Structure formats: structure tokens, C-alpha cells
Structure 1
Amino acid sequence: MQFSEEFWNNKYKKNKTGWDLGEISSPLKAYFDQLTDKSALILIPGGGNSYEAEYLHEKGFTNVFVVDIAIEAIMNIKDRIPSFPETHLLHNNFFNITGQFDIIIEQTFFCALDPELRKDYVRQMHKLLKPRGKLVGLYFDAELNNDHPPFGGSFDEYKQLFEPAFTIKTLNDCYNSSPGRQGMELFAIYEKA
């Protein structure tokens, strides 16, 4: 399955963005609200319209980066948040990104990837995190689709995928999911081992 830049750009152009909540997700807002280091290097891969980046930016976080393969998504952020540093909007394939981050945020990126790329996702996340860096976010705990995004997942699959490279600090049912996602999400914090 190939989900190219053109595939994702067309989703934005045709407003076929069912995954987009139109606001920051409740669980990530709660997580961000307890962060104190506003200079932390934070990456949001497959960021889309990235209300999470907008929220962090408005809260004074200075090193938030968004990467997306779809230029339409990057332009949406640029247009909506003119004060967001343009150099922090990365039009690129996540698997080509380099650098080291303190925190990487997962918000509907994992489920958008071809399931064949899941081990590559874990390797790239590990590579991009500083020692003791954290991958934090939401993962579907539900059977979804087999031939197009979003692809589902399960608690057991995540344990098997992440345990070799990360210490699983949290992998629990999400108690404060956004409407329409209750009972379908796990909140995870994986720390680079």
C-alpha cells in the first residue's frame, strides 16, 4: 500500500480529513499542561493541521517542530498560525528526518502508516529521541481497516513492538478520549531505553 504525498494532499484538498478533531485532543492537552520545560525539543510527526503544535506554541513552547509529507497540511498550519516559526514546519517524509528530540508526540500518525512500516516507525522514533526521551500519545486499541487508513492496533501488538527498544512507562486505556474515540484509545508513554 502506497500512501504518497499526493494521496495525503488530496485528502486535505477534498476535506476528507475524518481523523482531524478540529482542536487539540483532550489527553494530549492534559499531558502538555503538566510540562514545565518550555525549551524542550518536541516533534509532531504526521502532524496534519497540528492543533497540538498550535496549543504548545500559544503556551510559550519554543522548540516545537511539525513534520508532514503533505504540503497542504504544512500550508494550513502556516496560514492558521502566522507566528509559528516557518523553519519548524518540515515538509518531509518522517523516515527522512534527522535530529534529536526530548519528546515526540503521536496523534493519528501511527494508524495512518501502512502496517508494514510499524517496525520502521519504532526504529525511527528510537533514533530521533535523546537518551531518556519520550514518545507520548494515543494509539487505537481497535480493529479498524485492513486496506486503508486508519489502521487499528492492540495493546498486545504495542507491547511487542515497543518493549525491545523502549521502557513502557504508561500504556493504559485512555480515560479522557475526545468524543467519538472513547473506549478505542490507549494513552502511551514510551521512554527510550
Structure 2
Amino acid sequence: MERSLRTVSAGSPSEYIPVGAERAALLLAAYYRRRGEGENVARVIRVYGDAIIRMEGSAAATVYVHALQTLHGQLLHFRLRADADALNDRIRVAGIASAAEMKPITVERSIPRAEVEKFVEGVLMGNAREVLVRIALEFLPRRAQLVPALRQLQESAALLAMMPKSITDSFGRTVAVVGPASTDPEGRYIDHLSLRFGLSVP
């Protein structure tokens, strides 16, 4: 496995695919951690990290920032906080570049005026408290619906469910970290809820 890590991490950045190095590094890090070999844990994670950093300028910014965020989460998972903190500036710069790469996609949908007026009239009936409760019931996703969907998603993408997830702001700075699904189920639920809420609200 050490040889595999060296091989997949030493290639040209233009040919580098982070999944191979990440997988090898995580397996080795877990093995060394079970043996209490902290220095080897740090070493293999840093080999993987160096390969990620070499992607700068050769990979698309969206791919690069995602790889950096994943690396940041793994560094925190293996208690290498100083290394994780050192990535923040790179993540911020890559996040800005990634946002600049994105292109807007617009979709038009026509809703009959009578349908809109009927909906608004029904929502606005009653006092302010009743209106707010009605809006919340209409638009907020329900936990009973989201939990099974989240569980199914985690089963279909088991590796992603095991990895911490970094939450970044519009400048690419890490503002929060969600742990693996096995140790931070509530954090995973809130993250999933925020994604669904953001996509559901007009």
C-alpha cells in the first residue's frame, strides 16, 4: 500500500486523480493509527496532501477546491489541525476561482396568475403567527421524509459518508466541519436539510 501511495501521488498533476492517493493514504493512516504510530499517520496524509496541492493550475478550480476541502476534513479527522489551518488561504483563493468558473443556468416557468393569487390568499389568512406557521409548514422539509432519503444516500455513497465535510463561505473559507455520518449524524442531517431547503425555496 505504501508503494501504491507513492505511485499514484508522484504522477504529473495533469494526470493526477485524487481518489487513488486518498484511498491509499486513508487505509494506511487507519492502519498506523491502530498501531499507535502517529508519525506515520501524519506522513502518509501529508504525502496525499502534497499531491492535492500540486493540482493547482492544472485541474479545474471546482475540482481543485473540492479536493482541498476533502483534504482539510481528513487533516482534522486525523488531528492534524495545524496542517488543516495552513490550507485555509489556498481554499479561499481556489473558492473564488471556482465561483468565477461557474456559469449561470436560468430556467423559466410560467405560473397562472389566478393560481398564484389563490395560493397567496390562502397563506395570508389569519394573524401574523398563523401566517408564519403556515409558511413554515408549506416550505420546510419534514424530518420523517429526509432521514430515510439521507440514509439511502449514505448507503449508496458509503465512502463519502465516512469522510468529514468542510463547509465554506462564498470566499472559500472553511467556516464549519461536518463529521462522518457514524459520529455526527445530526450534523449530516442539518447539512442535508440546508441543501434541500436551499433547493426547495423559490
Which structure shows the higher helix fraction? 2
User: With structure 1 as the length reference, what TM-score do the two structures score?
Assistant: 0.29
User: With structure 2 as the length reference, what TM-score do the two structures score?
Assistant: 0.28
Larger RCO, structure (CA 8 Å, separation 6 or more): 1
Which structure shows the higher strand fraction? 1
